[in-house]
Structure 1
Amino acid sequence: MESKVSEGGLSVTLTIRLLMHGKEVGSIIGKKGETVKRMREESGARINISEGNCPERIVTITGPTDAIFKAFAMVAYKFEEDIVNSMSNSPATSKPPVTLRLVVPASQCGSLIGKGGSKIKEIRESTGAQVQVAGDMLPNSTERAVTISGTPDAIIQCVRQICVVMLESPPKGATIPYRPKPASTPVIFAGGQAYTIQGQYAIPHPDLTKLHQLALQQTPFPPLGQTNPAFPGEKLSLHSSEEAPNLMGQSSGLDASPPASTHELTIPNDLIGCIIGRQGTKINEIRQMSGAQIKIANATEGSSERQVTITGSPANISLAQYLINARLTSEVTGMGAL
């Protein structure tokens, strides 16, 4: 990206990404989207908010630099207004600072910090804002969070200086953007319907109900790797064998009458993590939702693949395969998980 500095400041188009919690996003959107609509119209910047039922969302602000600074000013003042409103019901006397979190490619963070921390110190001293660059990259990305806190005016000045640094030092190499993961919610099946648990309520989930009904009808899903262009080189081996005991159990609500089968498939080592999830959360979800038993073999030396064995009725197996495929697709395409 080329930068040219003119009398009135920077005259280029920029994209800045912000990481916000759900409550902050709600404040920016406003009732029926009125607040964000006004921000877009008055600043002239494009403001996009990532979709999804996530605890965190990405807010992308794009436009000429003067439009970006106007949009940032409006966001900062809105957050300050929220702080003032919350304090009217609170005994606290000192007003907390406004805090924004930018998402910046890790390759640009060195320039932002400067040699021996000289640049970040200069930004702190000249703007009066506190600036912290996270030491670790955000999950599954090559980006870091840069937290700015202070008065709205200090934040706007700070963002101006950060924009100058980012324009003078473009990202090196490919950037893998951070995408917040959806909040995982428990799923239950009852009366042929799938429900997700949200707080004290069970909310009907049409997509999972559809999967559940397909599984009950024993409609096989396309085998993993054969129809999905995202995995052209992936090997998939399927074996089926009749086994006398039904290993599925009766608790999942799926049809337990057909004899249990076993299917085996191989998944590349570098993708197995997205199937297992942190502390096994994802694989346990897939087991619960499909009613199938799923075993992942340990890594073998010299092999770039892991063996996955799925046991259960044909319906359980096809649903487990579908869910594994959905996890792999979401990982490769960067879309939200199912």
Structure 2
Amino acid sequence: GATIKSFIEDSGAGIKISPQDNNYIGLSDRIVTVTGSFEEEMRAIDLILSKLTEDPLYLQSMNAPLSYSVGTAAYNSSYGPNGVGGRYPNNKEDRGNSLTIGVADEHIGVVVGRGGRNILEISQASGARIKISDRGDFMSGTSNRKVTITGSLRAIRAAEAMINQKVASVTER
């Protein structure tokens, strides 16, 4: 509780974590809800990810397939010695880190945003490069477009969280 309190004070964002006994069947993951201005939310996510990357068990789970309903995940886990760290977009080690997730074709519009505004914002805030597959280029056996996120481990996780948040905002309506 003290860690979360300090994150709330530092970021100015509201942070709520689901109870440990309220997990989905088969998952030990807990849901973290972050509220506030865009800057407050990004600061809170950065603090949370920093804390998570200190945990060796969390780092091991980074290479496991994700269980989101958003789609399938495929990792290229060629992490360099500086693979976990701050945002260094020009760092050679960071170029090898990539994550490909599937986003339902009908939700790509909200991820990209009008004139590419959302995807640009996500890229700038996270420090990750994001590439979306062309129309009709789907993850095999699905109608999910491929969204490839490249950068440091922290940048990838931040971008992934923001993309998932955009998708959740339209699927919860």
TM-score normalised by L of structure 1: 0.31
What is the CA–CA distance in structure 1 between the aligned matches of 2:164 and 2:115, rounded to whole Å?
20
Match of 1:274 among 61, 86, 110: 110
Alignment of 1:161-180 (within 5 A): none
Amino acid at match of 1:297: S
* Alignment map for 1:194-233 (pairs within 5 Å): 205-217=39-51, 219=53, 226-227=67-68, 231=69
Seen in structure 2, the aligned counterparts of structure 1 residues 279 and 194 have a Cα distance that, compared at 3 Å, is: farther
8 Å CA contact 2:123–2:159 kept in 1: the answer is: yes
Whether contact under 8 Å (1:238, 1:264) holds in the other structure is yes
State the distance in 2 between where 1:272 and 1:254 align: 28
Partner of 2:159: 320
Q: Which amino acid aligns with 2:156?
A: I
Query: For the residues of structure 1 that align with 2:109 and 2:41, how far apart are their CA atoms?
Result: 24
**Higher share of residues assigned strand:** 1
Alignment correspondent of 1:300? 136
- Equivalent residue, structure 2, for 1:115: none
Indicate the residue corresponding to 1:56 in structure 2.
none
Post-superposition Cα deviations, 1:13-35, rounded to whole Å, max 9, x if no partner, equal xxxxxxxxxxxxxxxxxxxxxxx
CA RMSD after TM alignment? 3.7
Asked if structure 2 preserves the Cα contact closer than 8 Å seen for 1:194 and 1:204, the reply is: no
Identical residues among aligned pairs (%): 26
The alpha-carbon distance between structure 1 residues 224 and 279, as it changes in their structure 2 partners (threshold 3 A), is farther
Which of structures 1 and 2 has the larger relative contact order (alpha carbons within 8 angstroms, sep 6+)?
Answer: 2
Q: What SS is found at the alignment partner of 1:254?
A: coil
Q: CA deviation at 1:194?
A: 8.6
Matched residue SS, 1:259: helix
Within 5 Å, give how 1:29-68 maps onto structure 2: none
Inter-CA distance 297–243: structure 2 relative to 1 (3 Å threshold)? farther
Higher gyration radius (CA): 1
The AA in structure 1 aligned to 2:43 is T
Unaligned runs of 5+ in 2: 1-9, 14-36
Change in CA separation of 1:291 and 1:193 when aligned onto 2, cut-off 3 Å: farther
| Change in CA separation of 1:266 and 1:205 when aligned onto 2, cut-off 3 Å | closer
Inter-CA distance 194–215: structure 2 relative to 1 (3 Å threshold): farther
AA aligned to 1:226 is S
Q: Helix, strand or coil: the match of 2:117? A: helix
Matched, 1:254 2:86: yes
